């Protein structure tokens, strides 16, 4: 049966560990100048309803490095996803043309609908609900910097959004402690809480409102934009509601000199994070960005070769 990558919860801890090991192996191979040609003669289509720098570019590079090709499609070029024709028809047309679908959509149901009708792998490249490629590239980055994952504490400060949800699930599956501090009204969704409660124990998951409490003993401080794509009309209100949730030098000092700072990017300096923190030696933000490529190369090989 064809395997998709829609949500981290669909994968066992062992499978996720194997994906990280494959990422490390291929990263080393590529650094040594060796190549894996698992996409030879194969084509990836990128269907993106939202803008992207890292995800789009790293997937296009993934295809090129694996000897395949990639086509980038903006929904307006094909009359809008689900507008000119049903998603299920598009999925069945793509089955006959390409070998893998990478989709960035507003609704998570759109990637699920694509996967329901695709006989080729579908990769979630971000939805309003989750960003699993980001979270797994982040796990790879953490493992490289700390030499392990198990038992580390990741403190997420800000909005209980798509990135937070995928990170929380990745931490649960890979045995990290996940703590989140959000303002009232911006907590992780109730739906998500129901899903994660069957995966994680209480001692590995903490929900707070005080950022300073959240970063106590944290190995990693993570933040993301207060206003995600699609929420632009809420930006003014959010800027008020998130006051006190900025990752700045005071918060970084409260975590200690060994804590690392992470951000999925794009970052809005002066809002969720300060320029000084991004430029501090404690940041591992650009390693995260690079590891998008290394994780996704492994993911594509895993989905195509199995
Ligand atoms: N982090 C991330 O997914 O970046 P893009 O939106 O630029 O792809
Ligand atoms: N939460 C952000 C992540 C961007 C990579 C968004 O959805 O816009």
Q: What are the pLDDT digits (tens) for 150-179?
A: 999 999 999 999 999 999 999 999 999 999
Asked if the structure places residue 24 within a domain, the reply is yes
* 3 found inside a domain: no
Q: Among residues 105, 115, 43, which one has the least CA distance to residue 80?
A: 105
Q: Output the CA 178–ligand 2 centroid distance in Å.
A: 19
Q: What is the pLDDT of residue 214?
A: 98
**Rounded CA separation 277/283 (Å):** 7
- At 176-228, the pLDDT tens digits run 999 999 999 999 999 999 999 988 888 899 999 999 999 999 999 999 999 99
Structural domain boundaries, residue 296: 8-130+291-305
Question: Do 123 and 148 have their domain in common?
Answer: no
Mean pLDDT along residues 26-49: 97
Alpha-carbon span 241 to 244, nearest angstrom = 9
Q: Are residues 139 and 256 in the same domain?
A: yes
pLDDT of 79-98, one tens digit each?
Answer: 989 999 999 999 999 999 99
Q: Is the pLDDT of residue 111 over 80?
A: yes
pLDDT computed for residue 53 by the predictor: 98
Q: Are residue 110 and residue 254 in the same domain, yes or no?
A: no
Domain count, the chain: 2
From the CB of 54, is ligand 1 less than 6 Å away?
yes
**Is 1 part of any domain?**
no
Distance 58 CA to ligand 1 centre (A): 10
* Rounded Cα–Cα distance for residues 61 and 66 (Å): 8
pLDDT in tens, 257-306: 999 999 999 999 999 999 999 999 999 999 999 999 999 999 999 999 96
Confirm whether 134 is a catalytic residue: yes
Shared domain check, 263 and 155: yes
For position 47, which CATH number holds? 3.40.50.1370
Helical pair 190-197 and 162-174, crossing angle rounded to 10 deg: 10
> Is 236 one of the catalytic residues?
no
146 and 284, same domain (yes or no): yes
Same domain, 112 and 49: yes
On whether both 219 and 277 belong to a single domain, the answer is: yes
């Amino acid at each position: 049966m064809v395997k998709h990558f829609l949500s981290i919860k669909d994968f066992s801890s062992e499978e996720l560990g194997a994906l990280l090991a494959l990422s490390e192996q291929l990263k080393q191979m590529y650094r040594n100048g060796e190549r894996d040609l698992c996409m030879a003669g194969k084509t990836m289509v990128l269907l993106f309803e939202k803008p992207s720098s890292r995800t789009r570019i790293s997937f296009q590079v993934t295809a090129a490095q694996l000897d395949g090709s990639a086509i980038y499609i903006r929904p307006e070029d094909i009359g809008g996803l689900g507008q000119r024709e049903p998603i299920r028809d598009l999925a069945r047309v793509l089955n006959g043309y390409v070998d893998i679908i990478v989709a960035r959509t507003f609704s998570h149901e759109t990637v699920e609908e694509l996967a329901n009708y695709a006989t080729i792998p579908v990769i979630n490249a971000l939805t309003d609900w989750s960003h699993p490629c980001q979270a797994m590239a982040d796990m790879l980055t953490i493992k490289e910097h700390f030499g392990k994952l198990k038992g580390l504490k990741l403190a997420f400060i800000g909005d209980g959004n798509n990135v937070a949800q995928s990170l929380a699930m990745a931490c649960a599956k890979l045995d990290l402690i996940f703590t989140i501090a959000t303002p009232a009204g911006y907590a992780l969704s109730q739906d998500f809480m129901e899903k994660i409660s069957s995966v994680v124990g209480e001692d590995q998951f903490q929900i707070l409102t005080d950022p300073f409490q959240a970063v106590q003993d944290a190995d990693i401080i993570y933040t993301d934009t207060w206003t995600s794509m699609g929420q632009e009309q809420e930006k003014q209100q959010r800027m008020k509601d998130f006051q006190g949730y900025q990752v700045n030098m005071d918060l970084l000092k409260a975590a200690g000199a060994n804590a690392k700072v992470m951000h999925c990017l794009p970052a809005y300096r002066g809002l969720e994070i300060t320029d000084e923190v991004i430029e501090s030696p404690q940041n591992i933000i650009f390693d995260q960005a690079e590891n998008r490529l290394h994780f996704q190369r492994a993911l594509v090989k895993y989905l195509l070769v199995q």
